[in-house]
Chains A and B, each alone.
Chain A
Amino acid sequence: GIQVEQSPPDLILQEGANSTLRCNFSDSVNNLQWFHQNPWGQLINLFYIPSGTKQNGRLSATTVATERYSLLYISSSQTTDSGVYFCAVTSGSRLTFGEGTQLTVNP
């Protein structure tokens, strides 16, 4: 099956810093999504982005499907951005998640 690799596995920032999270996938995909799981376990679907760039406030994402990667940018990070960020891809009908990037934003 398709492999999804996220990097870095862990990231620690000071409030106000910017960051880039990466998702590499091993095969062509129908779509790609980014999710955030906060420290209390709540999952939030951030972006559906099979290609191109989208922005939502301080978060933006870019997927280059031909090169099989996606990037999630977090600008001016806040403590509420802490948690795990998952990338998930759909190839055919299967949805496969990466292992996530654990982000900690310190005040």
Chain B
Amino acid sequence: DAGVIQSPRHEVTEMGQEVTLRCKPISGHDYLFWYRQTMMRGLELLIYFNNNVPIDDSGMPEDRFSAKMPNASFSTLKIQPSEPRDSAVYFCASSFRLYTDTQYFGPGTRLTVL
């Protein structure tokens, strides 16, 4: 398996634009996680899915953020409209089970909102 794949690796956009981040988890993993990392707030769990269903989205910062998982091999994290404070590295991770098995992380998407 190629591991967790994220795209794009880098995204630069202007304030107010829509941003879509993409993630392909490892095949067979039932759990998918979206994290955000900033200097100010450190690492945060935004949302996680189990079998394509969002289970806990309490970490999603506000309504401008939305995440979907239309099938077992694809998830998106969308920000609309984007703001400069959304600039961060966004990681996707997947695992077989919740918090008992190793989570495998993608390389991250570095988002810059101007």
Contact = CB atoms under 8 A, between A and B. Distances in A.
Nearest to A98: B42
Contact of B107 (A30, A41, A97, A100): A41
A31 interface: yes
What is the interface residue range for chain B against chain A? 20 to 34
Nearest to A30: B99
B43 A88 contact: yes
Q: Is the interface of A mostly helix, strand, loop or mixed?
A: strand
Interface in B91-114: 91, 93, 95, 99-105, 107-108
B30 to A, nearest CB: 16
Interface string A20-54: 00000000001101000000011111001000000
Contacts of B23: none
A2 interface: no
Interface string A44-85: 110010000000000000000000000000000000000000
10 contacts: A31-B99, A33-B99, A42-B107, A45-B105, A48-B102, A88-B43, A94-B56, A94-B59, A95-B59, A97-B44
Interface of B: 42-45, 56, 58-59, 89, 91, 93, 95, 99-105, 107-108
Interface of A: 30-31, 33, 41-45, 48, 86, 88, 90, 93-95, 97-100
